[in-house]
Amino acid sequence: MTSKLAIGIGLLGLVSLGCNASTMIGEVPDGSITAAIGAGGSGMCTPPVDPKDQAFTPPAAVAGTWTGYFQGSNLPVGQDAIKLTIDQGSDGSNQIHIVLGSNPPPPPATDAFDTYPTTDVVSNAQPVPLSVQRQFVEGFTYPAHEVQWLGQRLKFVVSGWEAWDSWCLLQQSFKFTTENDAYTSYNCVPGIGISTSTAADGGQECDAVLDSHGTTTPVDCDQVYMCQGSTVAPCQCDACGCSKNMNPTTAFDITFDGDLATGTGGFGATSSLRLTRATN
C-alpha cells in the first residue's frame, strides 16, 4: 500500500503547490540526488538564536544549583529528575541551564543517516525516537531562553531540539522554490512531499516527491522523521546548511522561597516541579 502526502509548512517546512512548482537540488558530484542526502556538515549561514533572548540579573540569593523532580509525571523515577543551575558564564554574563533526567547525555551524532539518539519506540506504526516524542534528550544541558525575573519568580523557555545540533550539522540542505520565486524554503530532505509504502519485509519505504509531476527518489525513512518540519522537528536549514531548531518546545515558571523552589514545566506535558538548593 502506498500513500502520498502533500506536505505543508507544519511538516516538511515546504508547501503543497500546483503544476507550476519546481525544486532545485544542490549540486551532487556524481549526478545522483541520493548521494548528497545527509552529506552536509556546514551548518547554517548564521548560527540560530532565540530573537527574544536578552540580558538578565537574577536575585543574588538564588544563584547556585538546584535539584529535584517533576511531581506526578509519567516518567520513571530518575528520568523525572531536574537540575537547574543559575550562574555566570566565562564572559561574566548571567546564565541559566537545566538538565532533565539522571542519565548522562548521548555522545554527539556521527552518522547523518542514523536517527538520534534512539530508535526503540514505535508510534503510529512509524519508528520515532523516544526523545523526539518527548522533545528532549535526557542528560543534555539546555540553556534557558527568554528569561524573565519577577522578584523571586523565574520564567523561561527551552528549545528541546538544541540537543540535536550535532545531528543537524551533518545534514545537507536542499532548496525548494516556486517557479515565480514567490516562496523559497530549505529542508534536510529534498522535494515537496514524501511518498511512503510497505516494503516486502513489512517495514516501511520512503521516497521524496521532488516536484508536482510526481518525480521521486528514495530516502531513508528515519531521516524523514527527523526532518519533519521547520517548527516540529529537530533541524532548521538555510542556503548554507542545517542546524538546531530554536523554536521553544516548553516553558518553565518557578518561584524561589529560601531553599525551596516550586513551579511548573516539562516536555510533552506540563507538570508540577519541586527543587531544593544543592549548592550556593
Identity (one letter) of the amino acid at 136?
Answer: F
Query: Hey, CA dihedral for 127, 133, 139, 145, is it positive or negative?
Result: positive
H or E segment and range at residue 216:
strand 216-219
Query: How buried is 181 (Cβ within 10 angstroms: 0-12 exposed, 13-18 middle, 19+ buried)?
Result: exposed
Q: Mean pLDDT in each 10-residue stretch from start to end of the chain (280 residues)? A: 33 32 31 43 86 94 95 79 94 94 90 73 48 76 96 95 91 79 80 82 84 83 72 83 90 96 84 90
Identify the residue whose cell numbers are 511518498. 195
What's this model's pTM, rounded to 2 decimal places? Answer: 0.78
